Amino acid sequence: MIHVKNLSKTFTVNEKEPGLKGSFKSLFKRKVITKYALNNINFDIHEGEIVGLIGANGAGKTTLSKILSGIIHPSSGEISVLGTDPWKREINFRKKMSLIMGQKASLWWDLPALDCYLLLKEIYQINDEDYHTRLNFLAETLGIKDQLKVQIRRLSLGERMKVELIAALLHNPQVVFLDEPTIGLDLTAQKAVRKFLLDYRRQFNPCMILTSHYMEDIEELCERIIILKEGSIVYDGPLKDIIAKYANEKQIILTLMNGDIIKERAPRDGIGERISALLKSHDVLDLSVTEIEISEIIEKILRQGVMA
């Protein structure tokens, strides 16, 4: 469904010296720097997959989403989304994809959501029956039916995200780009959005690419992750494999009789010995062994740049 080969993207940025002198100087001459936002990226994504794009700020996640959705032009490389080059921005391609921008409204703020949806109905040429069926399903699943007649600017952040989600999925897209869909939402709203996305995926089986800084989003939604560091892929594979591959330790948590809690890490192959030693030296009420948090492993990969 998505094929990316040797994709690179460079940007030029102007550099200005600080201070008033620098400002005057920049009126006549500016230093232009070329930066790699993406460097030789390769991957394929298939129907029904939800892939998480992970990386620090400036790693190239959003640039990648923008290129795949046809917003910006790649500097070099080969891209095919739904069998077409997204940069050509063909109408048929745009009818089958969607981009949800958590930090950017795509609807018209002065109008109620229902008015915006009527316009989208014409833009996507959705027939009356499909429009009503999908709108009812999406609004009911997200629990936002009562807010659809309210001006969008008057909705809360969580409600706005929900009406944006409906707008993005009303035409039943085959490829969905989700850029920080839960940013700024409270925990309940985050959970609702995640549950909704899973339900939606189960029912319609689209290919989804998710960019998020919230590890809960990634852990709950994605089976596969792509980790980007400074424009290059440092890991591409199943989320569960990342633990086996990069977490060579496990965490032991002991609750002692006196109420104290001890947390300790031990190598995977030496976990039994370490537990025996701890049981001998302490009066233990409870014991548990857990995997190290995925966010910590990813942080380690980003810090050390482990190659896949």
Partner 1 sequence: MRLTKAIFQMEMRNILAYRFSFWINFFGTTIGQLGLSYFLWSSVYSASNSQRIGGMTFQMMILYSFLAPMTLKCIHGMQNLNINQDIFDGGLNKYIIYPLSYFQFKWVQHLTHTFSHAFQLFMGLAFFAIMIGMPSEYQFGAINIICFLINLAIASSLFAVMESIMEMMAFWADNVWSLSVLLRFVINLLSGAWLSLTLFPDWAQQAFYYLPFKGMVYPPVKILMGDMSLLEWAQSQLMMMVWFVLISFLARKMWQAGNLRYTGVGI
CB of 26 to partner 1, least distance (A): 12
11 binds partner 1 (CB under 8 A): yes
| Cβ contact 299:56 at 8 Å | no
Considering the rule CB under 8 A, would residue 182 count as an interface residue with partner 1?
no
Sign of CA dihedral 22, 23, 25, 31: positive
DSSP string covering 112-123: BHHHHHHHHHHH
Question: Of 221-280, which residues contact partner 1 (CB under 8 A)?
Answer: none
| Residue 157 half-sphere exposure toward CB, CA atoms < 13 A | 14
Closer residue to partner 1 in complex, CB, 52/70: 70
The alpha carbon of 52 is separated from its chain's Cα centroid by a whole number of angstroms, namely 5
Q: Stretches 19-27, 110-118, 241-249, 287-295: which one binds partner 1 (CB under 8 A)?
A: 110-118
Q: Tell me whether residue 43 is exposed, middle or buried, using C-beta atoms within 10 angstroms of its C-beta: 0 to 12, 13 to 18, 19 or more.
A: middle
Q: Does 99 bind partner 1 (CB under 8 A)?
A: yes
Q: Is 111 in the site for partner 1 (CB under 8 A)?
A: yes
Question: Is 106 strand, coil or helix?
Answer: coil
Sign of CA pseudo-dihedral 261, 262, 265, 270 = negative
Short-list 165, 175, 197, CA closest to 92: 175
Question: Does residue 103 belong to the site contacting partner 1 (CB under 8 A)?
Answer: yes
Q: Using the rule CB under 8 A, is 66 a contact of partner 1? A: yes
71 lies in the site for partner 1, by CB under 8 A: yes
**Which of the stretches 42-50, 121-129, 216-224, 248-256 binds partner 1 when contact is defined by CB under 8 A?**
121-129
Residues near partner 1 (CB under 8 A) are 11, 62, 65-66, 69-73, 89, 91-92, 94-95, 97-99, 101, 103-104, 106, 108, 110-111, 115-116, 118-124, 151, 179
